[in-house]
């Protein structure tokens, strides 16, 4: 495609007649008088952007089969018929720091401010399945999230919060089964029936190997734990979302929007395949799979990405996996604005970035949303910053009017065309991954990791050369003009680590250690056998075995993952 021809070539390689006339009579004379900005005109992901898309350019897109209507296959226009006229998206701010008691206070604050769901951020030792007194945990306890070592901490985390009246999302992956079991145990103690519990565990191990890097076991035993959770929930906790298949971290690691779309859906295909291979009927677990995407700066690219994701998933589930239940076809998703797009320079500008990104998520049809706080490149969010982030969502929902109609961008020539082009590019990646034997083999070969590393280095060089603009960083830096912006920073007291270690020490002394040993031995035996691990993990948790102890018992059977770093 030549930029100077001024025309877009469709699938046939020809320019539509109507546009050809416009190019000759209107565009070319205008370009002769005043050239366009230098360009190239591409998205933040370097995806080409057309000057003008017309009705003729989208004739290849079937208005019924490809776009359709909201609440109907293939769900391009949204998974619900009324979208936000029925129910606004869930405003769910990811939060956690310090000890369980600190985070419990923040949760009560957020709920009192109108937040409608909780989202638990765990600290790194917990995310890695290690206790606070593990040597590797040094300096990390309670720092990036809340420290949870045992059921006692989980009880403190949800103290006074009725689990039958909120839904909770937990960002936890390799030790997900353990933390989920703790949540179930708290619910039982509150007298809440497990059948009524609502929430999500992220439980997406594949993206850990690809991007987020918080793993314990190698991929194949990890997938077995996941299919155990799917089977357990189908029977006992039917309203729980068992995996939140996440593109967010893939994007944060530096992927393009198309790579985020493709690798996330390829991960989803991997989980469905694993479930079927474990002997589960696809319609028993697929309705409980949910997704989690990033909303980056490039407004239309993000909207098109979400629309394309729904269309691809619906077709994959119906046509490739033969799902018959429409709930299995629907891609329901959470979105978080892009942490990696925020700048430490002129941090108040981040409020504006988050607003644009959040609007893209809403126009893209998300089911729930986390808006980042302006200070997240500097530290964990302060209460002021997190409140502004929540208010941003409330303004979009209740003032802007965008929630009053369903998929207002549906039918836009540009958005429909971009949706289809991103879909095609993602399907191309998915075919390549299928050709490698599926996503697990592709990960073992380092394929997605290499593609992302390339994209991230390429983008950084573009930023360094000024080809991609970051306001306040490589342009409009306001150097020497008093443009410095100071904001308050939340500091985590180093005493948190000491307090948590004392708590853990007391627990190990006061619990029935023989019961702990027995439950851990039984779990290890079940890990060696092929029985579902969830009931055993629940027993361990109720005996107050720690996250580290339970994961270590399984590690003895499953081994540990080691990465070959890809530069």
What are the residues binding another protein (CB under 8 A)?
124-125, 127-128, 130, 135-140, 143-144, 208, 212-214, 252-254, 340, 343-345, 377-380, 453, 456-457, 460-461, 463-464, 470, 472-474, 489, 492, 494, 563, 565-567
Cis peptide before 18 (omega within 30 of 0): no
- Least distance (Å) from another protein to the CB of residue 302? 19
Q: How far is CA 13 from CA 26, 27, 40, 320, 515, in A?
A: 22, 20, 21, 30, 72
Give the integer Cα–Cα distance in Å for 317 and 283.
10
Nearer to another protein, 273 or 346 (CB): 346
The structure tokens listed for 566 are 């890809």
Q: What are phi and psi of 474, to 5 degrees?
A: -115, 5
Give the integer Cα–Cα distance in Å for 323 and 329.
7
Q: How far is CA 363 from CA 92, 108, 247, in A?
A: 17, 30, 18
Nearer to another protein, 31 or 453 (CB): 453
- Least distance (Å) from another protein to the CB of residue 452? 9
Contact by Cβ (8 Å): 303, 409: yes
- Least distance (Å) from another protein to the CB of residue 212? 6
Nearer to another protein, 470 or 523 (CB): 470
Nearer to another protein, 55 or 344 (CB): 344
End-to-end CA gap in the chain: 33
- Least distance (Å) from another protein to the CB of residue 168? 23
Nearer to another protein, 78 or 254 (CB): 254
Nearer to another protein, 405 or 460 (CB): 460
Give the integer Cα–Cα distance in Å for 154 and 550.
15
DSSP labels for 441-493? HHHHTTHHHHHHHHHHHHHHHHHHTTSS--BTTTB---TTTT-----------
- Least distance (Å) from another protein to the CB of residue 473? 4
Give the integer Cα–Cα distance in Å for 71 and 90.
18
- Least distance (Å) from another protein to the CB of residue 252? 7
| Burial (0-12, 13-18, 19+ Cβ within 10 Å), 535 | middle
Q: Which residue, 202, 209, 305, is CA-closest to 258? A: 305
- Least distance (Å) from another protein to the CB of residue 449? 10
Nearer to another protein, 4 or 486 (CB): 486
Nearer to another protein, 76 or 255 (CB): 255
- Least distance (Å) from another protein to the CB of residue 371? 19
For residue 314, give the 3-state DSSP assignment: helix
Nearer to another protein, 357 or 524 (CB): 357
- Least distance (Å) from another protein to the CB of residue 128? 5
Tokens 């948190």 correspond to 496
């Amino acid at each position: 495609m030549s930029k100077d021809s001024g025309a877009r070539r469709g699938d046939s390689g020809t320019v539509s007649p109507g546009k050809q006339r416009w190019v000759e009579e209107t565009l070319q004379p205008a370009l002769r008088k005043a050239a366009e900005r230098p360009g190239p005109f591409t998205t933040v992901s370097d995806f080409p952007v057309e000057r003008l898309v017309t009705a003729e350019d989208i004739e290849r897109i079937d208005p019924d089969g490809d776009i359709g209507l909201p609440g109907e296959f293939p769900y391009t226009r949204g998974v619900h018929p009324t979208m936000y006229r029925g129910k606004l998206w869930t405003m769910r701010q990811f939060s956690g720091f310090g000890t369980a008691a600190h985070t419990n206070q923040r949760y009560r604050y957020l709920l009192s401010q109108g937040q409608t769901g909780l989202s638990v951020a765990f600290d790194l030792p917990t995310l890695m399945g290690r206790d606070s007194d593990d040597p590797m945990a040094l300096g990390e306890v309670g720092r990036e999230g809340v420290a949870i070592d045992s059921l006692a901490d989980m009880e403190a985390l949800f103290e006074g919060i009725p689990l039958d009246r909120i839904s909770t999302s937990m960002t936890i992956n390799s030790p997900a089964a353990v933390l989920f079991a703790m949540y179930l145990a708290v619910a039982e103690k509150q007298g809440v029936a497990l059948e009524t519990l609502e929430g999500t565990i992220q439980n997406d191990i594949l993206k850990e190997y690809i991007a987020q890097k918080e793993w314990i076991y190698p991929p194949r035993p990890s997938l077995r734990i996941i299919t155990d959770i799917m089977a357990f929930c189908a029977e006992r906790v039917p309203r729980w979302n068992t995996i939140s298949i996440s593109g967010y971290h893939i994007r944060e690691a530096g992927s393009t929007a198309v790579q985020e779309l493709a690798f996330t859906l390829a991960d989803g295909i991997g989980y469905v395949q694993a479930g079927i291979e474990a002997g589960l009927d696809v319609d028993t677990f697929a309705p409980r799979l949910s997704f989690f995407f990033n909303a980056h700066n490039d407004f239309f690219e993000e909207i098109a990405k979400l629309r394309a994701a729904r269309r691809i998933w619906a077709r994959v589930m119906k046509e490739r996996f033969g799902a018959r239940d429409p709930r299995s076809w629907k891609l329901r998703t959470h979105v978080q604005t892009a942490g990696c797009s925020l700048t430490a320079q002129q941090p108040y500008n981040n409020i504006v970035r988050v607003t644009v990104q959040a609007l893209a998520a809403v126009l893209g049809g998300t089911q729930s949303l986390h808006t980042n706080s302006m200070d997240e490149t500097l530290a964990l969010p302060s209460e002021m910053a997190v409140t502004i982030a929540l208010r941003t969502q409330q303004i979009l929902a209740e003032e802007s009017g965008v929630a009053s109609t369903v998929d207002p961008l549906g039918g836009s020539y540009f958005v429909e065309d971009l949706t289809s082009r991103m879909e095609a590019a993602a399907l191309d990646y998915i075919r390549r991954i299928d050709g490698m034997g599926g996503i697990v083999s592709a990960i073992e070969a380092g394929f997605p990791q290499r593609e992302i590393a390339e994209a991230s280095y390429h983008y950084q060089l573009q930023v360094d050369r000024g080809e991609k603009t970051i306001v306040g960083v490589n342009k409009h830096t306001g150097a020497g003009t008093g443009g410095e912006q100071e904001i308050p920073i939340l500091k985590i007291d180093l005493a948190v680590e000491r307090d948590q270690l004392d708590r853990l020490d007391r627990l190990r002394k006061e619990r029935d250690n023989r019961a702990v040993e027995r439950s851990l031995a039984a779990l290890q035996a079940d890990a060696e056998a092929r029985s579902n691990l969830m009931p055993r993990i629940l027993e361990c948790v109720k005996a107050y075995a720690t996250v580290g102890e339970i994961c270590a018992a399984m590690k003895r059977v499953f081994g540990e993952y080691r990465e070959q770093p890809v530069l």
